[in-house]
């Protein structure tokens, strides 16, 4: 890892342009995990409505989620979309926490990262991005999160070839310092860049104002 590589310089440029993004100011690690599931392919504004509803009904807790009926849970999280699937996923997550961890999340996060990651991935409804988001933002473990924006941006910068999650994760991990706040901030900045400058529709790509314009190799997306 050298301080002059593109992967690291991109982080510096993005932070300089956009500033800290202040992601995931959840009041608890469990709330953060709930948000990670509810935000799957969904706008965060919709997730906020669902989390607020859960909180106001005192269901923002693994035991309370298990105690709730499917109908009640689905109703509370409906604004976040895919509400039947996500209600099921929240119950599976809660079951794991209650049954495997006795309700104590630290039991999970204190384990070796790969073991904790595998444990999360064993839950139906938790894939690589959700697992890694949980490890990074709730567990504060140094795991680089890859999402659709990161894949698209990395492709345009010529950083990755295949567009696979694992490859992108390896490359980002190898080229930035192992630092939890940096990982948290970099991921949030990539999402910010993706939303505002690197959209799927090429006609909407505002490459002229893009902070990484000079590094961008193509207008095309993978």
Contact residues for DNA, defined by CB under 7 A: 23-24, 35-36, 39-46, 49, 78-86, 123-131, 133, 137, 147-149, 162, 164, 191, 194-195, 199-201
Of 131 and 210, the one with the shorter C-beta distance to DNA is: 131
Of 9 and 119, the one with the shorter C-beta distance to DNA is: 119
Contacts of 84 (CB under 8 A, 6+ apart): 74
Q: Provide, rounded to whole angstroms, the least separation between the CB of residue 16 and DNA.
A: 21
Q: Provide, rounded to whole angstroms, the least separation between the CB of residue 215 and DNA.
A: 20
Q: Which residue has the tokens 């301080």?
A: 3
Contacts of 85 (CB under 8 A, 6+ apart): 125
Of 53 and 101, the one with the shorter C-beta distance to DNA is: 53
Q: Provide, rounded to whole angstroms, the least separation between the CB of residue 3 and DNA.
A: 27
Rg, Å, the chain Cα set: 18
Of 5 and 211, the one with the shorter C-beta distance to DNA is: 211
Nearest to 183 by CA among 86, 121, 127, 113: 113
Q: Provide, rounded to whole angstroms, the least separation between the CB of residue 188 and DNA.
A: 7
């Amino acid at each position: 890892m050298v301080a002059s590589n593109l992967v690291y310089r991109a982080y510096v440029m993005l932070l300089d342009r956009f500033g800290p993004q202040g992601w995931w100011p959840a009041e608890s690690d469990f709330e953060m995990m709930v948000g990670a599931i509810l935000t799957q392919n969904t706008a965060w504004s919709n997730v906020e409505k669902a989390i607020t509803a859960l909180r106001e009904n005192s269901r923002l807790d693994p035991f309370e989620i298990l105690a709730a009926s499917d109908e009640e849970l689905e109703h509370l999280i409906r604004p976040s979309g895919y509400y039947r699937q996500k209600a099921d996923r929240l119950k599976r997550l809660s079951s794991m926490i209650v049954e495997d961890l006795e309700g104590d999340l630290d039991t999970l996060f204190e384990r070796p990262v790969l073991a904790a990651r595998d444990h999360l991935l064993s839950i139906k409804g938790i894939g690589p991005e959700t697992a890694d988001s949980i490890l990074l933002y709730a567990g504060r473990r140094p795991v680089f999160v890859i999402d659709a924006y990161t894949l698209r941006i990395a492709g345009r910068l010529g950083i990755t070839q295949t567009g696979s999650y694992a490859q992108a994760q390896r490359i980002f991990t190898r080229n930035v310092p192992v630092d939890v706040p940096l990982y948290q901030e970099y991921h949030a900045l990539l999402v910010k860049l993706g939303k505002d400058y690197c959209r799927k529709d090429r006609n909407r790509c505002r490459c002229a104002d893009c902070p990484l314009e000079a590094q961008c190799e193509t207008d095309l997306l993978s």
